[in-house]
Structure 1
Amino acid sequence: MRWRQGRRSENIEDRRGGTGGRLGNLLALAPLLLRSKKGWLILGVIVAIYYFSDGLDHLPGGGQPPPLSTEQPGQPGTHGNEVADFVSVVLADTEDTWNQLFETAGIQYQPPKLVLYHDTVRSACGLNTAAVGPFYCPDDRKVYLDLNFLNDLKQLGAPGDFAFGYVIAHEVGHHVQNLLGTTQKVQQARTQSDKATANRLSVMLELQADCFAGVWAYYANRDRQMLEPGDLEEGLAAASAVGDDRLQKRTGHAVSPDAFTHGSAKQRVYWFKQGFNSGDVTKCNTFAALAGQ
């Protein structure tokens, strides 16, 4: 991707090196601590400090998170912050795209914050580890991202900067759904549905976020010429790699469509391409398209 000359977003919240990662490391000791009454007390103190005062910053090893890269465009980043710099540019570009589309529709776009963290993070949706992958929390309107997920993508067979860009744009797509009220409607419908129907609704929501990611890529390519040869293929590879059927096979399970929550590899590729080929959010009505299937 041609990203180095791009604008950097001001909506990055960098928690790397903050309390979240250290809490995760300390909680990893929980099985040992829980073997004694004294251990229970220590664990309780750790959790209380974290939740009520963020006081872990005062423990040995505490400190401020590393800053985002301040390298000039075209210069390589240092200490892993080149990836953070890339994330900031992609987020800014999604802001430009959705600002334009919302303005055309006569409404104001409110961009999300993107939280960079390592290992463990606390959000309004609860305490999560990096094992859950990138996620969006509608309760605080923030995207949460552990930069190590880039390595996970490579292991899934989806390397490349645009593959990572697709992931970021997908989570921003969930923010768009939240602003439009789609998320709330789906959540309500899922609570009133059986498990199979609830999973189907989740798939529709996720595939629409894929389509919205494609819409972003359309404008990033058309208006700002960010894409290079091979980038689209990287994005499609990423969409395919995180398909439920592919992930089920990787974990040694039989493919079970009724258990899908994000959509098959074929579906995710299709809807990303739908957004990318059209640049039209009205083409992303996955609910209508999948309702009759």
Structure 2
Amino acid sequence: MQWFGKGSGNIEDGRGKPSGGVIGGGIGILVVIVGLFFGQDLTGLVSQLPLGDVGQTEIKKGDPTDKEGKFVNGVLESTNLVWEQQFAEMGKTYEKPVMRLFTNSVSSACGNASAAVGPFYCPGDHKVYIDLSFYQDLQNRFGAAGDFAQAYVIAHEVGHHVQNLLGISEKMQRMRAQLSEKEYNRLSVKLELQADFFAGLWANHAQNLKDFRLEEGDIDEALTAANAIGDDKLQKQAQGEVVPDAFTHGTSAQRMFWFKKGFETGDIKQGDTFNSSQL
């Protein structure tokens, strides 16, 4: 993909000084596996992680000037443009999220988080959090290389922001106390697959932006990333067996299906994963 436009201006850059708190050993590996693209309700997980001097790095606001920072900033701005249009068509006003870049660990309204948790969205402060070293893991550990695979990560987390603004996330959280863990996991899968659909919808409409250009192989990169982080594949790698009742994000096939559906239709009305039989 190529982006020729300006940045979003909604970046908080806290990269630089290592702040400690990297989780080691089996705990770190476990958190990486269950935390990838978690996206929602991290409070109970991240606030308990043992961290060092979180929040001591100086925060720079505005548009980053380095290559990696410019890239994620451009992707964020393209999501802003697409979702502003989508919300306007629904008679609503889109609130742009903030993206917080960090190194090793960070403090959010959802609690403290290590980079091992992976990228996440915190509904408490409307921010997307990412340590850009995650992209190295995405390529080296999960075999999902390419700039559009990286863009998919951001578009998925922004999808959770959209769910938050539309009241979907709040409705789900209200139901949490009434459901068993198995039942809630099923809802969580639907929430995550809808975020994948929203990422595909973004890709569809981003093609029409004057400053954005899809390149050959881009969509395949996103589908490769979606395939790599399916619950079934991650469980198989981690524990040698697949436990469907413990799924929280959906299988590889489901994640690819819903991203592709979002990209092919570009119609937000087609993304009701909660009432769909195609799960």
Partner AA of 1:228 in structure 2: E
- 1:46-98 Cα distance to aligned partner (Å, 9 max, x none): x9x958xx6x46xxxxx66699643xxxxxxxxxx311110000000000000
Q: Provide the aligned length of Structure 1 versus Structure 2.
A: 251
**Aligned residues of 2:13 and 2:59 also touching (Cα < 8 A):** no
**Aligned residues of 1:206 and 1:263 also touching (Cα < 8 A):** yes
Percent identity reads: 49
Instruction: Return the index of the structure with the highest Cα Rg.
Output: 1
CA distance in 1, matches of 2:254, 2:98: 28
Q: Give the structure 2 partner of residue 90 of structure 1.
A: 75
SS of the residue 2:253 aligns to: helix
Output aligned runs, 1:185-264, within 5 Å. Answer: 185-224=171-210, 225-264=212-251
CA distance in 2, matches of 1:139, 1:67: 21
Partner AA of 1:86 in structure 2: F
Could you tell me how far 1:189 is from its partner in structure 2?
Answer: 1.3
Q: Which has the higher contact order (CA 8 A, sep 6+)?
A: 2
Could you tell me how far 1:168 is from its partner in structure 2?
Answer: 0.1
2:146 to 142, 150, 160: 160
- 1:103-160 Cα distance to aligned partner (Å, 9 max, x none): 1111100010000001100000000101111000001110000101111110201100
Partner AA of 2:21 in structure 1: G
Distance 1:177 1:66, change over 3 A: closer
With normalisation by structure 2, the TM-score equals: 0.84
Query: Larger deviation: 151-160 or 170-179?
Result: 151-160
Could you tell me how far 1:23 is from its partner in structure 2?
Answer: 4.2
Q: Give the structure 1 partner of residue 112 of structure 2.
A: 127
More helix by share: 1
Partner AA of 2:130 in structure 1: L
Distance 1:243 1:85, change over 3 A: same
Could you tell me how far 1:7 is from its partner in structure 2?
Answer: 2.1
SS of the residue 1:222 aligns to: coil
CA distance in 2, matches of 1:213, 1:233: 14
**Aligned residues of 2:108 and 2:122 also touching (Cα < 8 A):** yes
CA distance in 2, matches of 1:189, 1:227: 39
**Do residues 16 (structure 1) and 15 (structure 2) align?**
yes
CA distance in 1, matches of 2:208, 2:11: 25
Output aligned runs, 1:266-281, within 5 Å. Answer: 266-281=253-268
**Aligned residues of 1:7 and 1:93 also touching (Cα < 8 A):** no
Root mean square deviation of aligned Cα: 2.3
SS of the residue 2:99 aligns to: strand
SS of the residue 2:21 aligns to: helix
CA distance in 1, matches of 2:61, 2:183: 44
Could you tell me how far 1:22 is from its partner in structure 2?
Answer: 1.6
**Aligned residues of 1:17 and 1:66 also touching (Cα < 8 A):** no
Distance 1:67 1:142, change over 3 A: closer
Q: Give the structure 2 partner of residue 171 of structure 1.
A: 157
CA distance in 1, matches of 2:108, 2:59: 19
With normalisation by structure 1, the TM-score equals: 0.80
Partner AA of 2:77 in structure 1: A
Gaps of 5+ in 1: 29-46, 58-62, 71-80
